[in-house]
Chain A
Amino acid sequence: MSADSAIDPEPVAVQPLSVDMRRLTRVGSRPSFLDYLVRLWDFRQFMFYDARARIQSGTRRDRLGSAWLLLNPVFNGLTYFLIFGLLLNTSRGIENFVGYLVVGIFVFQYSSGAITSGARSIRNNKSVVQAFNFPRAALPIGANLRELLRAVPLILAMLLIVVLLPPGEEITWLWILVVPAILLQALFNLGVGLILARIIARVHDVTHLLPFALRAWMYGSAIFFSYDRFVTHPQILAIIKLNPLFNVIDIVRNCVLYATVPQWQSWAILAAWALGALGLGLVYFWKGEESYGRG
């Protein structure tokens, strides 16, 4: 390692120079946490534009354009209806099994999509990070905004399927509760995405593990079955039911399919996860602010 042993030649003469540093800030330095949040707020237009522009460009080549944002999940749901409702005709002891399945899959799909794009937002936009000087959290937040906007047609399609396909649930006032549930879910997604974005910016290999982790999480979120059928031990059941995504799905199912007011415990667990993940994610991401896109 010859290059290592090169010794810096000391300059012959050194002139000390006293400089007034008061008005200078270090280039690329990380602001305090509160300043960081304020700067993020200043870049809100950037995040919104980023989210909107990328949604539009996603379907630009299709003749039906943005209609696909709604059609895609509708077809998805119809497929499940065909297979489970008509061909297999299973219910697995669950009332309105097709609705149960569709709610589970759609709500989970939103999270897995949002977490994946949030996690990859720094890596995939490395050139943007290197070229411009903005608070880096704007990218994961922009990615999550985009996924939230995409979730709107997804949820609409879900509700449409639940109403139209047999047994055809009735619309009740409880459906409004879907909105706060999805918003809490969005905060949770963002928090997890921020944490993963920093990890993946450093160790890219994690991207390869992410799909497997998400799939395992999906199977563990009571989408195709109900927990009560397989888990008999009450304490283990209680622990499993702390799963934040299970709680979102459970809340939505109760509102939309079974017209029951969701238990306050579900809301409490979900809110704790959402706020906890968001707080932790913001702080963890902010700590790495100087490292993104550099080397």
Chain B
Amino acid sequence: MDADDQELFIEGHPCVVVDSVEMRYRVASSAASDAGPQDTAPRFFRRAVNKSNMVTVHALNKLSLVVERGESVGIIGRNGSGKSTLMKIISGQSKPSKGAVYASSTPIMLGVNAALVQDLSGDQNVILGCLAMGMSRAEVDRKFSSIVELSGLEKSIHLPMKSYSSGMASRLRFAIAASVDPEILLVDEALNTGDAQFADRSKLRMDELREQAGCVFLVSHSLDTIKDMCTRVVWLDKGDLIMDGEPETAIKAYQDFTRHLSKGNNISAARILDEAKANLVATEVRGRSSRRSRG
């Protein structure tokens, strides 16, 4: 077969395989229904059978990625480009409409997403959150003081969550999520909040985790951070994969693109986009369950 000659092989074991993932949402639109006046079904009825003014939003178009151990992948793109959607799919928080994500261990998303129970106190939330991540009680006790230290909450840790400011709560969330040492780490910096003092501390811990992790996905609006940390950059725009390659080239193209946009040169910006797309080589994942047969 011809196609087989061109097939690339990944030897060894990849950390994450994103296989033809697509994400669509159906949401209610406030725009007037196009069903017209002949549609006499009562509104509540249409709502009950889920046929009210629904519109499909393509958050992410068909996308495949294979990420190997040791890679750090930076994801860049404008707002609404599908970065966070992709991260949520990889971490398992959302289920893709089509396709699937395969991983060698449970990916952990680091951000402020670790849920907290409002009625419980901070320390109870720490223990509960750690147990929910699969730690044993002894492990939680060992890590407890370092989590509290990282959160910087000190005595407030014994107060109920209800009394926390949003900054305090997100610091605690981060500290809980950062207490595991995951093999596959996802960092959504766009979500990161906190004062300067906490920012330093959290950056330190994030660097530590990044060094230990087998592979890292990073969403950040700071292109410098991405350039420093990543070995590979994925550029998304309006749910499409635009570029997947060296950080230098991808970031340069993206910067060109945004510069043209901010000047109002929409046409030249679109040209950059089209050019990048034309050079894109999309990946098609072909799983094999046995080693490549030699000979």
Cβ of B131: which chain A residues have Cβ within 8 Å of it? Answer: 43, 45-46, 49-50
Q: When A15-B283, A18-B8, A24-B17 are in contact, do A132 and B90 touch as well, CB less than 8 Å?
A: no
Asked if B8 contacts A17 (CB within 8 A), the reply is yes
How many contacts A-B (CB < 8 Å)? 179
Q: Give the distance to chain B from A228, nearest Cβ to Cβ, in Å.
A: 43
Asked if B58 contacts A45 (CB within 8 A), the reply is no
Cβ of B225: which chain A residues have Cβ within 8 Å of it? Answer: none
A234 part of interface (Cβ distance < 8 Å)? no
Number of interface residues of A (CB under 8 A): 49
B240 part of interface (Cβ distance < 8 Å)? yes
> Which of A2-10, A112-120, A219-227 lies at the binding interface?
A2-10
Cβ of B10: which chain A residues have Cβ within 8 Å of it? Answer: 17-20
B93 part of interface (Cβ distance < 8 Å)? yes
Q: When A16-B3, A28-B95 are in contact, do A57 and B115 touch as well, CB less than 8 Å?
A: no
0/1 string, A278-295, CB within 8 A of B gives 1 = 000000000000110111
B270 part of interface (Cβ distance < 8 Å)? no
Contacts from B to A (Cβ < 8 Å): 3, 6-14, 17, 25, 34, 55-58, 61-62, 64, 66, 90-95, 100-104, 106-107, 113-117, 119-121, 124, 127-129, 131-134, 136-137, 160, 177, 240-241, 277-292
Cβ of B101: which chain A residues have Cβ within 8 Å of it? Answer: 26-28
0/1 string, A25-46, CB within 8 A of B gives 1 = 1111000000000000011011
Asked if B286 contacts A18 (CB within 8 A), the reply is yes
Cβ of A127: which chain B residues have Cβ within 8 Å of it? Answer: 115-116
Closest to B3 in A: A16
Closest to A57 in B: B119
Most buried by B among A23, A24, A27, A58: A27
Q: Tell me if B's interface is mostly helix, strand, loop or mixed.
A: mixed
Q: When A17-B8, A132-B115 are in contact, do A24 and B121 touch as well, CB less than 8 Å?
A: no
Asked if A57 contacts B121 (CB within 8 A), the reply is yes
A294 and B23 alpha carbons, distance in the complex (Å): 12
Cβ of A43: which chain B residues have Cβ within 8 Å of it? Answer: 131-132, 134
Q: When A19-B287, A19-B288, A127-B115 are in contact, do A46 and B132 touch as well, CB less than 8 Å?
A: yes
Asked if A25 contacts B14 (CB within 8 A), the reply is no
Q: When A17-B8, A20-B13 are in contact, do A27 and B92 touch as well, CB less than 8 Å?
A: yes
Cβ of A129: which chain B residues have Cβ within 8 Å of it? Answer: 115
Q: When A17-B10, A18-B8, A128-B117 are in contact, do A295 and B288 touch as well, CB less than 8 Å?
A: no
Question: Which of A9, A26, A57 contacts B102, CB < 8 Å?
Answer: A26
A19 and B107 alpha carbons, distance in the complex (Å): 19
Asked if A42 contacts B102 (CB within 8 A), the reply is no
A20 and B104 alpha carbons, distance in the complex (Å): 11
Cβ of B102: which chain A residues have Cβ within 8 Å of it? Answer: 21, 24-27
Closest to A12 in B: B278
Asked if A46 contacts B103 (CB within 8 A), the reply is no
Asked if A17 contacts B285 (CB within 8 A), the reply is yes
Asked if A4 contacts B95 (CB within 8 A), the reply is no
Closest to B108 in A: A133
Asked if A16 contacts B6 (CB within 8 A), the reply is yes
Question: Which of B57, B113, B280, B287 contacts A13, CB < 8 Å?
Answer: B280
**What would 17 more interface pairs be, CB under 8 Å, given A14-B282, A26-B101, A54-B117?**
A12-B280, A15-B281, A16-B8, A17-B8, A17-B9, A20-B291, A24-B17, A27-B103, A27-B106, A28-B92, A50-B128, A60-B160, A125-B115, A125-B117, A130-B93, A130-B113, A133-B106
A58 and B11 alpha carbons, distance in the complex (Å): 55
A45 and B279 alpha carbons, distance in the complex (Å): 52
A293 and B56 alpha carbons, distance in the complex (Å): 20
Contacts from A to B (Cβ < 8 Å): 1, 3-4, 6, 8-9, 11-28, 42-43, 45-46, 49-50, 53-54, 57-58, 60, 125, 127-134, 290-291, 293-295
Question: Which of B14, B120, B177, B292 contacts A53, CB < 8 Å?
Answer: B120
Asked if A14 contacts B284 (CB within 8 A), the reply is yes
8 closest A-B pairs (Cβ-Cβ)? A127-B115, A11-B282, A46-B131, A28-B92, A24-B102, A131-B115, A132-B132, A21-B287
A57 and B65 alpha carbons, distance in the complex (Å): 45
Asked if B93 contacts A294 (CB within 8 A), the reply is yes
Q: Give the distance to chain A from B5, nearest Cβ to Cβ, in Å.
A: 10
Closest to B93 in A: A130
Q: When A128-B115, A132-B114 are in contact, do A4 and B66 touch as well, CB less than 8 Å?
A: no
A42 and B135 alpha carbons, distance in the complex (Å): 9
Asked if B137 contacts A45 (CB within 8 A), the reply is yes
Asked if B284 contacts A15 (CB within 8 A), the reply is yes
Closest to B62 in A: A8
Cβ of A54: which chain B residues have Cβ within 8 Å of it? Answer: 117, 119-120
Asked if B128 contacts A18 (CB within 8 A), the reply is no
Cβ of A58: which chain B residues have Cβ within 8 Å of it? Answer: 119
Cβ of A125: which chain B residues have Cβ within 8 Å of it? Answer: 115, 117
Question: Which of A6, A11, A49, A50 contacts B58, CB < 8 Å?
Answer: A6
Asked if B55 contacts A3 (CB within 8 A), the reply is yes
Cβ of B290: which chain A residues have Cβ within 8 Å of it? Answer: 22
Cβ of A134: which chain B residues have Cβ within 8 Å of it? Answer: 132-134
